[in-house]
Structure 1
Amino acid sequence: MADARETDATAGTAPDPERIRHRLVVAADEYERVHSRVENAGGESLLRRTAGAYHTFRRLLDDNEEAATGSGFQAYVEFQERVAEHTAGLDDSLPAYEAFEAADDAVHKKRLSAADFEEARAALDPAREYADLLVEWEAAEELLRERRRAARERLDTLAERIADAERLLELGEADLEAPVEQLREPIVAYNERVAADFDRLKRDSSARKTLAVVATAEAYPLVDFREPPTRLAEYVESAPVGEESVTTLLEYADYSAEKLSHLVEDPGALKRHVATNRTYLTNLDATPLQVSYPPPDAETLRYQCEEYARVCGRFADDATLAALRTVRGVPDTVDYERLCEAARALSQLTETDRERLAAGEVSQALGQLEREREALAEQLAAIPEP
């Protein structure tokens, strides 16, 4: 493993793509080198059996030396029996089998001393080499897994960067001089009107009606209102104070219990149901009924406007509904796809993006990224998987 690490260190100043590929090759070479040694040793299965036998014998020596070399005859006998049982259970075709027999002989005496245990440990050295090889093999496997994982992560990063570059190039093809106000102005006009209407709903209509409007939206998947908390909805529906507006309920929630007692039948209930849901009621607005800008594709916009109209019809004025119909008709009156592409480009491209596109830097970077991805993918495919 030292060779792999030392060779790896020489790649520290290399460009990142080259360094990743270099580290992958180093790990694969190390894996193949150790794999060859493992095969020459009889294969991984035999290697593991030998290493297991070695570690078991070493534990027997380490765990029993003090007791077996002391004055306790019972400990001495039990140790002899364990060693004999372990050695007898070994297959004589096992690599370094003679080492286990020699270690057994070293401690198979009438009296045992520390020197006998040292002799047994030394006799096990040929078997230890197999155990060391197993450690080296597992390290080589882990190193290759780590380097393959790093290569796959790099491929994922490259895929993301390629997608970003392709998106920039696509945006760069848009007509930035297109009259996007033909999209923006009707959408802004409608969004402002529906926001004002919803604010008025919260301020002037009953909370019961407001939450009923929100509940209506459950039937329309493109109207993404957050459902009212169940206990709040039940309270507003059943309590007389539900006839008050959402704005008023929020004001009441700030009152003291004494002041509330002059306004509602059960001040505690209002605190429990309204004050605890203050964030929901405060944040409740017309956002789920507003059209995004840049807008979606024409078909989605039409479906949105139809669903928005079903909900807006319960609280919005005629001018707002007319503005919504105007938005719905925009794809039929303008070069919609071209304007949408221009709107997306104008909203997403930074000044730096535009400069890079104009200079051809994005195309150049895309080519480099694609070449790196292709080279790394080919190399990864050629590398063994542990």
Structure 2
Amino acid sequence: MTERAEDLAGELAAAHEAYEDVDERIAEHGESDLGGLADAHDRATTLLETYEDRATGTGDFEAFIRFQESFAELVESLDEEMPLRQAFEDANDRFDKRRLSSSDFAAAREALAPVAERVELLDEREQRREHYREVRRRVVARRDDLADDIAELERLSTLADIDLDAPVGDLREMVEGYNEAVAKAFQRFRGEASAREVIEFVERTEQYPLVPFRPPPDDLRKYVETSPVGTEPLTQLLDYADYSPSKLAHYVDEPDRLRKNVAVHRSYLDGLDATALEIDWPPPSAPECRFLLRELVAVVGRFAPEEVVRRLHELRGFARSERYERLHRAAMAREELSERDRKRLAEGTVEADLTAARNDRERLAEALSAHPGP
């Protein structure tokens, strides 16, 4: 469940206040004095825990003596001005006898209780510090999530005036009709033209950056330019590459050279299709589409029948119309929008949600600024 910005901001303020409260109480006692008191208390409680079982009753007399001496030395080592020093002396008085019992240790702990209570301020501050940091982390995470939400809502806002019911099928029919036609034309070109012509065609498309054919490998290009088999169709060269060495020797003069320059590039040649000549769906915006179509007309006209080029001219003319841009935007929106996005647009809640998200993010940013990390 998403946490409300208002609740998070309030929780951060409360966590900061709680942390500062205990920090002020520590400052009242003195950070250094409290640290020294905590060290002395730790040493005292360690002695109590270590020797209670061994130094009580008629147990280990040596441990009994060692404990009495160690605890007395601890108390004597404390600064005369140490806060609550008397508590340590009171605890030590409980051990000034010939035999100790568990009740003496309990009484010593009770005498040290005021010390324990005071030094607990240090642990309490650490706990409150960690809680404060954890709340800040949640506030930062929510603020960042809101930034993502705002970006998404801003994107939706730009699509609010788009007619999602526009008949994009008209545009799609033109694009897909061309793509099918150019794919067939290129397949025919690839199967009927010489390998030399196909490779030369691909090489020349480097002049057209919007028609992204992969350039042919240099050794393949040189081979089809210089070898007699370069005048045969590309599909035939690929068939040759599958022949056994003995069979291939009957068809080409230099079998090893064909295998070296054609067979090794089978993946490139198998992938040489009309993809670079096709138009994506959704198609580009009107200005981009016009640039693309100008290059496609120049390239496709080198091998395809007039009917394919005519489709490009028709689409190019359509890209100059206002209707194209309207259908293009509708097509883009249909591809981008989820069902939830469409529902939000239909309900007209995008602007209200955007305003609320911006307000929440501002509230959290202000809270983080007002309550810096400890």
Q: Shorter chain as normaliser: what TM range?
A: 0.5 to 0.7
1:41 aligns with 2:26: yes
Q: Deviations over 1:225-280 (max 9, x none)?
A: 4556xxxx133124468836554565566x4xx725532325863697235xx2x5
Q: Alignment RMSD, CA only?
A: 5.8
Aligned partners of 1:217 and 1:311 also within 8 Å = yes
Instruction: Indicate which of 284, 295, 302 corresponds to 1:296.
Output: 284
Is the contact between residue 51 and residue 134 of structure 1 (CA under 8 Å) also seen in structure 2? no
The answer to whether 1:197 aligns with 2:182 is no
TM-score (norm 2): 0.61
Give the letter aligned to residue 292 of structure 2: Q
Cα displacement string for residues 72-123 of structure 1 (whole angstroms, at most 9, x for unaligned residues): xxxxxxxx9xx99xxx9x99999x7979x99xx9xxxxxxxxxxxxxxx999
Deviation readout 1:282-318 (Å, 9 max, x if unpaired): 4443333322333322221222223334443544444
Distance apart, 1:171 and its partner CA: 4.1
Q: Considering only CA atoms, is the larger Rg found in Structure 1 or Structure 2?
A: 2
Q: Establish whether residue 328 from structure 1 lines up as the match of residue 306 from structure 2.
A: no
Q: Counterpart amino acid of 1:384?
A: H
Q: Deviations over 1:344-385 (max 9, x none)?
A: 345556777666654xx342x652463255135314412512
**Alignment correspondent of 1:149:** 137
Q: Which moved more, 1:29-38 or 1:242-251?
A: 242-251
Q: Whose relative contact order is higher, 1 or 2, with alpha carbons under 8 Å and at least 6 apart?
A: 2
**Shift in alpha-carbon separation, 1:22–1:168, aligned structure 2, 3 A:** closer
Amino acid at match of 1:151: V
- The 5 Å alignment of 1:267-278 reads 269=260, 273-274=264-265, 278=267
Q: How does 1:98-113 map to 2 (within 5 A)?
A: none
Distance in 2 between the 1:282 and 1:52 partners?
A: 78
| Cα distance in 2, alignment partners of residues 124 and 211 from structure 1 | 93
Task: State how 1:1-386 maps to structure 2 within 5 Å.
Answer: 16-18=2-4, 21-23=6-8, 25-42=10-27, 133-134=121-122, 136-165=124-153, 167-168=155-156, 170-171=158-159, 173-175=161-163, 178=166, 180=168, 183-205=171-193, 209-226=197-214, 233-239=217-223, 243=230, 247-248=235-236, 255=242, 259-263=244-248, 264-265=255-256, 269=260, 273-274=264-265, 278=267, 280-345=268-333, 357-358=345-346, 361-363=347-349, 367-368=352-353, 370-382=355-367, 383-386=370-373
Cα distance in 2 for residues equivalent to 1:50 and 1:124: 15
| Deviation string, structure 1 residues 42-94 (Cα, Å, up to 9, x no partner) | 39985997699789989x99xxx9xxxxxxxxxxxxxx9xx99xxx9x99999
AA aligned opposite 1:274: H
* Counterparts of 2:33 and 2:307, CA distance in 1: 84
Task: Give the drift of 1:206.
Answer: 5.0
Counterpart amino acid of residue 42 in structure 1: A
2:363 aligns to what SS in structure 1?
Answer: helix
Q: In 2 relative to 1, CA 251–41 (structure 1 residues): closer, same or farther, beyond 3 Å?
A: farther
Distance 1:252 1:159 in 2: 60
- Unpaired stretches in structure 1, ≥5 consecutive residues: 1-14, 66-79, 106-120
Q: Secondary structure at the match of 1:174?
A: coil
**Which residue pairs with 2:101 in the alignment?**
none
Amino acid corresponding to residue 372 of structure 2 in structure 1: E
Contact 1:145 1:385 in 2 (8 A): no
What residue is the counterpart of 1:12 in the other structure? none
Q: How many pairs were matched up?
A: 349
